[in-house]
């Protein structure tokens, strides 16, 4: 994904709050790659995945027009929650620029109460768990 004008501050450096949008793009692609595209999965299974925790570590700045590559690792899958990490790499330098960690919890779309992850989704996620990403 390319860093755009809307992603940078006055110095042309990617603004810290823009990083989660890039990580959420990687999240959307991850679920799609597992066979659960976001344009269908929530209505088909009747649940949502709100964030309950988001952490970010920043290592090196990205500049406007830089291309970032995201790599997502599923760290833990619980009965109703998922923890994953997304590393954003700068294509030009090869450096990791940031690490974002997300914890999401499954809730019922109607009641907004905690619920178990749908079994096919949980099974697909469990098959991808990488407890100690490189």
Quick: pLDDT tens for 5-58. Answer: 999 999 999 999 999 999 999 999 999 999 999 999 999 999 999 999 999 999
Q: What is the pTM of this model?
A: 0.90
Do residues 84 and 72 lie in contact, with contact meaning Cβ atoms separated by under 8 Å?
yes
Q: Which residue has the higher pLDDT, 1 or 131?
A: 1
Q: So where are the chain's domains?
A: 5-126
Percent of the chain clearing pLDDT 90 (strictly above): 96
Q: Are strands 107-108 and 68-77 parallel, antiparallel or unpaired?
A: unpaired
Do residues 121 and 41 lie in contact, with contact meaning Cβ atoms separated by under 8 Å?
yes
What integer is the mean pLDDT of 106-125?
Answer: 97
DSSP letter assigned to residue 132: S
The predicted pLDDT at position 130 comes to 82
The predicted pLDDT at position 126 comes to 96
The predicted pLDDT at position 133 comes to 57
Q: Is the pLDDT of residue 65 over 70?
A: yes
Do residues 87 and 98 lie in contact, with contact meaning Cβ atoms separated by under 8 Å?
yes
Q: Indicate the pLDDT class of residue 99, thresholds 50, 70 and 90.
A: very high
Superfamily of domain 5-126: Hotdog Thioesterase (3.10.129.10)
**CA–CA distances in Å: residue 55 to residues 44, 49, 100, 101, 109:** 29, 16, 6, 5, 25
């Amino acid at each position: 994904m390319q860093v755009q004008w809307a992603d940078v501050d006055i110095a042309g450096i990617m603004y810290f709050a823009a990083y989660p949008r890039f990580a959420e793009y990687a999240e959307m692609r991850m679920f799609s790659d597992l066979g659960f595209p976001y344009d269908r999965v929530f209505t088909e299974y009747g649940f949502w995945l709100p964030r309950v925790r988001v952490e970010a570590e920043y290592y090196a700045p990205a500049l406007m027009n830089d291309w970032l590559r995201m790599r997502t690792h599923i760290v833990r899958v619980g009965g109703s929650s998922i923890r994953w990490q997304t590393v954003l790499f700068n294509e030009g330098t090869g450096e990791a620029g940031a690490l974002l960690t997300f914890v999401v919890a499954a809730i019922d779309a109607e009641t907004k109460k905690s619920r178990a992850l749908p079994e096919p989704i949980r099974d697909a996620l469990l098959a991808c768990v990488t407890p100690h990403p490189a």
